[in-house]
A and B are shown apart, each in its own frame.
Chain A
Amino acid sequence: MAVKQLKDFEEVLYGCRFCPMCKPAAEVANVTHIESYSTRARGMLLWRYIHGMTDLSLRAVELLYQSTLDSISEAWCVNHYPVSSYIVSARAEVFAKGLAPKTVLSVLERPLPKPGDIKAETLLLASEAAELGDPSLLKPAVSVLEKHGCRTEVVMMGSGAVEYCLGAIERAEELARRVCERISLSGAGRVIADGPQTLWALKYVYPILEKRLPEGIVVTSISEEITRRLDKHDGRQKGLKGKKVIYHDSRSACLLADDMARDPAIQPGFRGPETTMGTGEVYEAPRRLIDRLGMERIFSVWTRSLSKSCGADDALWLTYPHLAEKLARKRLSEAREQGAEMIAADSLLCASFLSKIRTDSDVEVRWFAELIG
């Protein structure tokens, strides 16, 4: 597998170029209200571009970057057209032509992680924490894991997911290579990803970048690990029982779904019980834990593979923070409208970003591990 060329998506772009059906899922378009941010507009732009009908102007490039990877449109589409993949390919082409915006290039100026020599049976790969630049954020997760007999060594390094999202493929490959090497040298048999974006990089992006983890290594997420261990213990925590919570699935989780399984019968105003709009442990583990804690989950259509971005996904919060902030505010106001007291997220990135933006909101935001730690 390798990153496809944009022209390889000709057939998909042909279908997307006039199709307005995924508009409710078009995240940035819905917070800016501007049509040119829609999946249809992007499809039309890219289809015209690959046919030589238009150039990639400054604004066109900006439109390509002022977006998440839009995997929610991919999940929403009854045929799951690979929207996120063609955005990456388009950005890779932009990048290769030297047309990437300055704001994107500035994100890529960060130094590459140095080699390390940690030896451990279990590694906690802290890529989301590395993006946030704050190792202390991991404390609750590490302590919960330790409490339940899982000793981990923390490796703080970028996974390459951000670079991949931005189309900086060579740099993403280099980061992926370094991560694989570090894991290999550690002798670990298990790698726990500190969040869905890290897990997405390991399980989804690395095969595309043709970077291999050591043979037989087990890759899980922190929520899977914690929930699996707590299944054997009493995980109830005072003060959380009955609390109304919206569980926020990260955008990165979407493409980790065993099956995106868009329910063909999605009706407006869906309120639950939650149906299978995306299946797999990436969704189930955190839900099991929340249920175990006696919290009351609030449902909406926009859950699982249809979960809308909080802005912390796909590097948007680094490149165009004003748009990311709009998305975060929207999620917070939706949570309040639905009567939620809390948003809980499996992703450290999501939880941190929402927490940062929530200053004027009475909706509490908690990272998954903080619910127990």
Chain B
Amino acid sequence: MLHPLQQKMIETEMVDTVGPGYVLTDEADRIIYGVDYMWVPRLWIDRGLVPPMPDFVVLPGTPEEVSRVVKIANVYRIPLIPWGGGSGSQGGIMPVYGGITLDMKRMDHILEINEQSQTITAQAGINGYELESALNSRGYTLAHIPASLHSATLGGYIACRGSGVLSTKYGKIEDIVLSCEVVLPEGKIIRTLPLPNHAAGPGILQIFVGAEGSYGIITEATLRIEKLPEERRFKAFLFDTLSKGLEVGKRIMLDRLQPSLIRLYDEGETIKRIKKILGISIDKGSYMVLGYDGKKEVVDVQERLAVDICKELGGHVLSDQSAWEWWKHRYNFYFPPYALDFPWMFGTMDTLCTFDKMENLYWTKKRTLEERYAEWNLEYFAHMSHWYPWGVMLYDRFIVQNPPEGANEALALHNEIWNVAVRTSIACGGVLNEHHGVGLKLARLMREQYGPAFKVLEELKASLDPRNILNPGKMGFGPPN
């Protein structure tokens, strides 16, 4: 805990670095920087408590200013937490040891759109929607369209290894990013190699992708971009069972038919969410949206073959309108009152495994959670929405409609459910998370996920950040030294 006098002294140094107006210390400003989209800080607010807040919020305007703030943080051994859009669901921005929250949004410029090679270079603080808008107006797309598009920043996309709804064709952000500029934990500004596909030793780019600011602060990135598709199509199907839909998705992927999207909902989500939000009248079965993007001739062929598979395996063809309804309203799911919100306890436990293990993973997880938390009437539902040539992501969620009133009791139940869920995923061949990240929420489970391999991450952290000031308490790393 800093004495107020020392706090003022440090504030002076930071104002000197980034300019007046870009260092915030009032509680009315700081409190919002303690809350992202994770359920836990929201619980704290909901119950009238104050979540961990940063001591300072600093808005740097250049990588050099980031570097200088990092150096100040090192001198005083103050934690430093990068902030993008505050839309993360894992508590990755929570300043659990106080310190400086570094809001990156002043660094929001597009530096270059290279049409010859179809790349873009932009600063990390640019808002996802603004970035996509700028590209669209030039006839391009980043093709990274996450639910957090409106809020998240480019830096946040990369720091959390995020994924967009069209990732099945275009890849996750780690596939899209080519290189990054990073401020290291002691203030040095580095650039990863200009391209990721080299044989000049291991790729250090991916050390920073998904590190949630633990290894460095991403200030700029170059990414691949795509032409806006000449043709964009969506079709909707209804399958009797999730199993049939899964088999269809698998066949489409194994036949390399390159859909932009396969979104397969289990029966629970089909009935509860699809019907409620899209207004499509479905009372049973699994709803699937299949999407194709690209040149018309290519789309014609790929889509026809994929639709044949759907029909062959018993898919009931719904109207194209019902598919487009999903695309048009895909953000509605995240606006109140449709978004999952209090008084419920809820969480998205996305995981990933190969095709052969998915059905078992889904059913085991559903059964385990619903049975173990029957007294809490835990509801489990899921969809599968990021497909790979070898497997698929399970975007599964739990809801407890009447969690304990007390914050500590609610937190204990929340954490226990997460422990069970993640351990079940890992035991069934899945991973801790697919695209939301680790943050504070899953930090404690990182050692279990990695086993002895966690030492690699730990040693890297110790070497790059000996004082452990960058985003402490996340990713399984401890407090500042």
Residues of A within 8 A of B132 (CB): 268-269
Are B106's CB and A19's CB within 8 A?
A: no
Residues of A within 8 A of B33 (CB): 35
Determine which of B85, B137, B337 lies in contact with A271 in the assembled complex, contact meaning CB atoms within 8 Å: B137
Interface of A is mostly: loop
- Of chain B, the residue at the smallest CB distance from A60 is B28
CA distance A265 to B341 in the complex (A): 24
Residues of A within 8 A of B332 (CB): 78, 264
Residues of A within 8 A of B48 (CB): 48, 51, 53
Residues of A within 8 A of B130 (CB): 24
> In the assembled complex, how far is the CB of residue A298 from the closest CB belonging to chain B, in whole angstroms?
11
Check A136 for interface membership: any CB of B closer than 8 A: no
CA distance A269 to B131 in the complex (A): 9
Check A267 for interface membership: any CB of B closer than 8 A: yes
Q: Mark B15-46, 1 if CB is under 8 A from A, else 0.
A: 00000000010111101110101000010010
- Of chain A, the residue at the smallest CB distance from B125 is A33
Number of interface residues of B (CB under 8 A): 49
Residues of A within 8 A of B127 (CB): 23-24, 30
Are A15's CB and B29's CB within 8 A?
A: no
Known: A77-B335, A79-B335. A17 touches B45 (CB 8 A): yes
Check A301 for interface membership: any CB of B closer than 8 A: yes
Are B335's CB and A19's CB within 8 A?
A: yes
> In the assembled complex, how far is the CB of residue B407 from the closest CB belonging to chain A, in whole angstroms?
13
Residues of A within 8 A of B342 (CB): 14
- Of chain B, the residue at the smallest CB distance from A42 is B32
Residues of B within 8 A of A267 (CB): 136
Q: Mark B311-348, 1 if CB is under 8 A from A, else 0.
A: 00000000000000001110110111101011000000
Determine which of B45, B87, B103 lies in contact with A44 in the assembled complex, contact meaning CB atoms within 8 Å: B45
> In the assembled complex, how far is the CB of residue A18 from the closest CB belonging to chain B, in whole angstroms?
5
CA distance A45 to B31 in the complex (A): 9
Check A81 for interface membership: any CB of B closer than 8 A: yes
Check A1 for interface membership: any CB of B closer than 8 A: no
User: Which residues in chain A, 24-51, are within 8 Å of chain B measured between CB atoms?
Assistant: 24, 30, 33-36, 38, 40-41, 44-45, 48, 51
Determine which of B27, B87, B103 lies in contact with A20 in the assembled complex, contact meaning CB atoms within 8 Å: B87
Are B137's CB and A57's CB within 8 A?
A: no
> In the assembled complex, how far is the CB of residue A100 from the closest CB belonging to chain B, in whole angstroms?
16
Number of interface residues of A (CB under 8 A): 41
User: Which residues in chain A, 76-103, are within 8 Å of chain B measured between CB atoms?
Assistant: 77-79, 81
CA distance A33 to B104 in the complex (A): 8
Determine which of A23, A36, A57, A59 lies in contact with B151 in the assembled complex, contact meaning CB atoms within 8 Å: A23
Check B436 for interface membership: any CB of A closer than 8 A: no
Check A218 for interface membership: any CB of B closer than 8 A: no
> In the assembled complex, how far is the CB of residue A101 from the closest CB belonging to chain B, in whole angstroms?
13
Residues of B within 8 A of A40 (CB): 32, 86
CA distance A307 to B150 in the complex (A): 17
Check A217 for interface membership: any CB of B closer than 8 A: no
Residues of B within 8 A of A57 (CB): 26-28
Are B32's CB and A21's CB within 8 A?
A: no
Are B45's CB and A23's CB within 8 A?
A: no
CA distance A368 to B27 in the complex (A): 44
Are A20's CB and B328's CB within 8 A?
A: no
Check A22 for interface membership: any CB of B closer than 8 A: yes
Q: Mark B115-133, 1 if CB is under 8 A from A, else 0.
A: 0000000000101011011
Q: Mark B98-111, 1 if CB is under 8 A from A, else 0.
A: 00000101101000
Are A38's CB and B150's CB within 8 A?
A: no
CA distance A19 to B331 in the complex (A): 12
Name the residue among B108, B125, B130 with the largest chain A CB count within 10 angstroms.
Answer: B130
Known: A23-B127, A34-B59, A265-B328. A44 touches B31 (CB 8 A): yes
CA distance A30 to B87 in the complex (A): 16
User: Which residues in chain A, 99-156, are within 8 Å of chain B measured between CB atoms?
Assistant: none
Known: A268-B133, A268-B136, A301-B133. A19 touches B26 (CB 8 A): no
Check A16 for interface membership: any CB of B closer than 8 A: yes
User: Which residues in chain B, 162-218, are within 8 Å of chain A measured between CB atoms?
Assistant: none
Check A219 for interface membership: any CB of B closer than 8 A: no
Known: A23-B127, A78-B331. A33 touches B108 (CB 8 A): yes
> In the assembled complex, how far is the CB of residue A104 from the closest CB belonging to chain B, in whole angstroms?
17
Are A23's CB and B106's CB within 8 A?
A: no
Residues of B within 8 A of A30 (CB): 127
Residues of B within 8 A of A261 (CB): none
Residues of B within 8 A of A19 (CB): 334-336, 339
User: Which residues in chain A, 284-324, are within 8 Å of chain B measured between CB atoms?
Assistant: 301
> In the assembled complex, how far is the CB of residue A169 from the closest CB belonging to chain B, in whole angstroms?
24
Residues of B within 8 A of A78 (CB): 331-332, 335
- Residue numbers of A with Cβ under 8 A of B are 14-24, 30, 33-36, 38, 40-41, 44-45, 48, 51, 53, 57, 59-60, 63, 77-79, 81, 264-265, 267-271, 301, 338
9 nearest A-B pairs in the assembled complex, by CB-CB distance: A269-B136, A15-B336, A20-B151, A268-B132, A33-B105, A268-B133, A265-B328, A59-B26, A41-B32
Given A23-B129, A36-B28, A53-B48, output 17 extra A-B contacts at Cβ < 8 Å. Answer: A16-B336, A21-B150, A22-B150, A23-B151, A24-B150, A33-B108, A34-B103, A36-B32, A53-B45, A57-B27, A57-B28, A60-B28, A79-B335, A265-B327, A265-B328, A269-B134, A271-B137
Can you give 10 A-B contacts (C-beta < 8 A)? A20-B150, A23-B129, A34-B29, A35-B103, A36-B32, A78-B335, A79-B335, A81-B336, A269-B136, A270-B136
